[in-house]
Structure 1
């Protein structure tokens, strides 16, 4: 299965975040662009590094009119533990049955439940960038900011 591509419309979804609050793509986009990053497992080493990099660039995303939103097949409780331990301060969505991962074309049967992939989604639901890198944890946030026209501060 191939991931969705630039120019395609992101599928609508409605998933619980780490607090149990239902979040739809439409409601998230009401605040501006969404940088939806799929990660294989909450609290794992690589996913923690990736999510913390998004957290550390939160002000830059806000200045660019966008918000990062994490999503994995972990439970709401696991997402809550992840946020609590790392003070991520962003929505972490629980796609427990993998339906959203399947709709975005990032669900896998082997290795990890999902591919590490990030979709930069404009307020009109159009995908303006797709970032796929299993090994460069910083690439996802850095590239998303570049696409949004924001300089990356180090």
Structure 2
């Protein structure tokens, strides 16, 4: 990870990007309602990214039960995201980060100096980054790790409300 990268315990930088439906997405608007699993991935329709997106899709109900929303970000175009979403029936938001402004804001590293990295951030409703998972070669672990962290957050919240 880069030295300036967002780390566990940091406040997640707010940002605004266009959604695949053409509307605007703002991180802190969503955080008013839910925890967020924000995942940066290299490219639509590549083997690892497709596996990862489909695993997030298959586990989407579990994320919803844990009070979380999944949001994927890559530098692909809105049109690419729309096709990717339609082909794989993705129930979550994909955002187009043309030029990599948000990727840079979070300090997501490049791999082999060329490929955009694969990093997942678990952000609680206070805007605090609770966990960061950085692994290019383990796309499915991003999903299982996110679920485990969210279970911990949910358990903490439930014990505080007792």
TM range (shorter): over 0.9
| C-alpha deviation, 1:107, in angstroms | 4.5
Kindly indicate whether residue 91 of structure 2 is the aligned counterpart of residue 89 of structure 1: yes
User: Contact 1:98–1:107 (CA<8 Å) still a contact in 2?
Assistant: no
Mark the CA change 1:107 to 1:15 in structure 2 (over 3 Å): closer, same or farther: farther
CA RMSD of aligned residues (A): 1.3
Question: After TM superposition, which residue ranges in structure 1, 4 or more long, deviate above 2 angstroms?
Answer: 107-111
In structure 1, which of residues 2, 12, 24 is the aligned counterpart of residue 14 of structure 2?
12
Look up the match of 1:57: 59
Instruction: Return the index of the structure with the highest Cα Rg.
Output: 2
TM-score for the superposition, normalised by structure 1: 0.92
Of Structure 1 and Structure 2, which has the larger fraction of its residues in helix?
Answer: 2
TM-score for the superposition, normalised by structure 2: 0.88
Q: State how many pairs are aligned.
A: 149
Kindly indicate whether residue 136 of structure 2 is the aligned counterpart of residue 134 of structure 1: yes
Work out the CA distance in 1 between the residues paired with 2:109 and 2:11: 18
SS of corresponding position for 2:49: helix
Work out the CA distance in 2 between the residues paired with 1:50 and 1:41: 11
Work out the CA distance in 2 between the residues paired with 1:50 and 1:97: 23
Work out the CA distance in 2 between the residues paired with 1:91 and 1:28: 11
Work out the CA distance in 2 between the residues paired with 1:116 and 1:51: 12
Kindly indicate whether residue 160 of structure 2 is the aligned counterpart of residue 124 of structure 1: no
| C-alpha deviation, 1:97, in angstroms | 1.6
